[in-house]
Structure 1
Amino acid sequence: MQTPEEYEITERVNALVKGLKKRRGYTKKDISQKLGIGLTTFNDYLNGVSSFKLGTLIKFAALCKLTLPDILDDTLEAKKLYSEDLADRANAGKNTLDFLAFILIIPAATSALATQWLFFFLHLLLVVYSRKDLNCMVVNVVFLLVYLLADLFTLSWHEYIYPNYNGLIQNTTAFGFPLLTNCLLMYFIKNRMQLSVWLSKGRNKEVLEPNKLDAPVYIVLVSLVFADSIAILENILRNLEHFGIDEEFARQFWKVQYIYDNYEYVKVFLMALVIILLFIGTRIRQRQLRLALGESGLGMNT
């Protein structure tokens, strides 16, 4: 049996094992082989049946690209490997800008899935708000449909991909699908007039009127695509051993996770910026329409 202090260390090791599975794709069998012990012995350690030997802990720390004190003291470096929750990462050495983003967008910080459904709901409100202006409503409807598609994908990802595949596949799909959807949105914004005419079957000239917010929204979408692309590249670098690269060489890239550690913050900030820009664009259009109606009314009176 383990002492309370040993059990606390075992809990940290269990968390790190989950982190290795997510980021490296290692199973318990893979880890036990790399530690030079049997799977039964390793499970006994993890279940508190017997205590970790010092040499095994040192090897395990090296496998995690940590030091033994990182595991014993549960340092920030260790937490970065196994922290799953956005709030945990905020406590794991995030900078001031990240912390402010977390505080400002608390409702979206609970989980990735909750964040996506929140933005879907906000886009739904924008569609309702812009219902009297086809020009803006078409744009908002497209964003709404894309976010619905993203939400359905996330549900499928949690159900089928996350439990059955290693970290390389998990992260590639998690970053790859948003990259695809953001590229589609960029294409739509760039060709908005043509697509709007097609969607409205050419029956409403409002869709041909330029929207001053198209360019800012396009720039934000480019930033989202950039963040997704860098996240995928980082994921490949962290998993070079899965591509046949020697593990000793690949290990030096295991901590390449600058975008990965800040991904939720970057995405929430940019997605919120899109909402704000679309709302401003809708407000400007509504004001222009009111002024146009007022001028036409004055013209009729004269």
Structure 2
Amino acid sequence: MTYRTIEIDGSKIAYREIGSHDKPAILLLHGVPSSSRMYEDLMKRLGNEYHLVAPDYPGFGNSDAPSPQDYTYTFDHLAKTIIKLTDTLKLDRYVLFMQDYGAPVGMRVAMARPQSVMGTIFQNGNVYEEGLGPMWEKRKAFWNNRDDFQAEVVKQQQSLAVTRARHLGTDPNIEAYNPDLWMDEHAYLNRPGQEQIQSDLIFDYQNNIAAYPIWQSWLRAHTPSTLVMWGKYDPAFTVAGADAFKKDLPEADIHILDAGHFAMDTKLDEVASFTRAYMARLPR
């Protein structure tokens, strides 16, 4: 495993990389409030067989976090940064592995560079309204009236309790989770400037939901070979979001895991096994 940085539009973008460049490539896009670190163990499992690259978005992980005055924190902008990263690294063909925020970033990458996408993997990466859990009602209130709900959204987003709950969800097996996961993420979330960065992205998430029909149309038109792995204890994105892929991709390989939002927290072996089997089926 190597830990590298490159400069894109004046900002340092950090990324993890493992595997030979002549192997099939997987571009791994992380969720919130995580970073490429969430893929560390999976990458080590698959690094002998594939070329894996996992970047940190601007404002996340070890990438620079320019102020919102210098970098507009929208999913459109995050995707453009990732596209520039793939261009700089000369990643011409890859499978997109998308978790949480990785789905709206990755679908924008796919639409901009369809010729580059060998396949798609979704791990609790939602692109269907059916998958939106009850918590999204509060987000919709925020979208309708940002001024009134800004303080509440920031307080929740930055709190240790909510950061912990993202991992645990409704999983009864609490002792299976390493507390370092949310303690470290909470520390990252509370760095200077993070309140505005994260609230800007939450506010922009409404544009992802508006784009769902467009992404679904892309999936129908391009019919990428697709693997869906979904933790059933996720209160944000419910199992209905996994099942919905069958509407547009009847051949999608869907697995419901006894896990939470970040399935690799507790089911790394299963995620690695399903990913390896999926990659083996792809034409070279």
Check whether TM > 0.5.
no
TM-score grouping bracket, smaller chain normalisation? under 0.3
Structure with the largest fraction of strand: 2
* More helix by percentage: 1
Q: TM-score, normalised by structure 1?
A: 0.26
TM-score, normalization by structure 2: 0.27
